[in-house]
Amino acid sequence: MCPVSRRFVQGDGGFFESGLLVAHCLLVELPTGLLLVDTGLSTADLADPMRRLGRGFMLTARPKRDFLGTAEAQVRGLGFKVEDVRDIVVTHLDLDHAGGLSDFPEARVHIYEPELRAMEQRRTPNEKMRYRLPHFEHGPKWSPHEVSGDLWFGFEAVRALADDVFMVPLVGHSRGHTGVAVRADHGWLLHAGDAYFHHEEMKIPPRCPMGLSLFQSQVAIDDPARRRNQERLRELVRDHGDEVNVFSAHCPVEFEALRERQRRSARPPPVISTTT
């Protein structure tokens, strides 16, 4: 995604230079098949963006209409079939995270139950805009989860699949926003979704470019809760950074760092990005 002002979005460059935000997805190989964490935008979104994404998103986010950047195309590019993706875990159902669900219609979609309820009820103007009904008209195979009593590094957690994939509630950005923790060979990956947007938000003290800071506070359904969860993530990075690699869905700096780490790993987990 290429929003108008790099200075406001990334904190460097020109005010009228295009910025860059990725839509970072994970593809995980499990004994039961493939698991996809978030889906980015779909092939249908790029073919009919005004109906499926809306004029506001197109004007502000300015997504690239690159079909090779979709999760579907990149899964196929890795030598798999769409049907090999048996399970999807979504951090939340905003359009740039759940748009690609329609490209994997047979997959079970694991979701934190409050987020599914928020999408179905769409109680506020904010929720009417963020949840695009065309993304769900194919009838996703929902598998809702509630907090089960598991703990993950002190966070309440939902065991999504076996002992290797946990949903970690990080509400605030949306009513049922979660992070998704995946156990890899070199430790844990925590896909923090939209709990934060810029890599320097995980530093102490944190820093965030003006545009992203304003955007996060405006779209949050519960901004105090969002800020509290950011603080908890900073403590996680400070205390367990050698065990857990935390990254947001949209930060290109974190994406490139993880991709480089993948290249150097002897047995890297497949990592894909839908830079739409």
Of the candidates 181, 161, 167, the one whose C-alpha atom is nearest the C-alpha of residue 112 is 167
- pLDDT < 50 regions, the chain: 268, 276
Chain center to CA of 118: 17
Residue 265: the pLDDT is: 73
Residue 182: the pLDDT is: 96
Residue 51: the pLDDT is: 93
When computed from its CA atoms, the radius of gyration of the chain, rounded to whole angstroms, is: 17
| Distance separating alpha carbons of residues 249 and 38, to the nearest angstrom | 9
Residue 162: the pLDDT is: 76
Residue 130: the pLDDT is: 94
Class of domain 6-273: alpha beta
Query: Are residues 186 and 92 in contact, defined by beta-carbon separation less than 8 angstroms?
Result: no
Residue 155: the pLDDT is: 95
| Distance separating alpha carbons of residues 143 and 196, to the nearest angstrom | 25
Residue 276: the pLDDT is: 45
Residue 268 DSSP class: P
- Tens of pLDDT, residue by residue over 187-225, are 999 999 999 999 999 999 999 999 999 999 999 999 999
SS3 content of the chain, % helix, strand, coil (to 5): 40, 20, 40
Of the candidates 188, 184, 160, the one whose C-alpha atom is nearest the C-alpha of residue 247 is 188
Strands 33-37 and 24-30: antiparallel
Residue 267: the pLDDT is: 54
Confirm whether pTM is higher than 0.75: yes
Residue 203: the pLDDT is: 96
CA angle (264 as vertex; 263, 267 as ends), nearest 5: 80
Residue 150: the pLDDT is: 82
List strands edge to edge, sheet with 155-161. Answer: 150-152, 155-161, 165-169, 178-184, 187-191, 244-247
Q: Which sequence spans correspond to the domains of the chain?
A: 6-273
Helix (H, G, I), strand (E, B) or coil at 200: helix
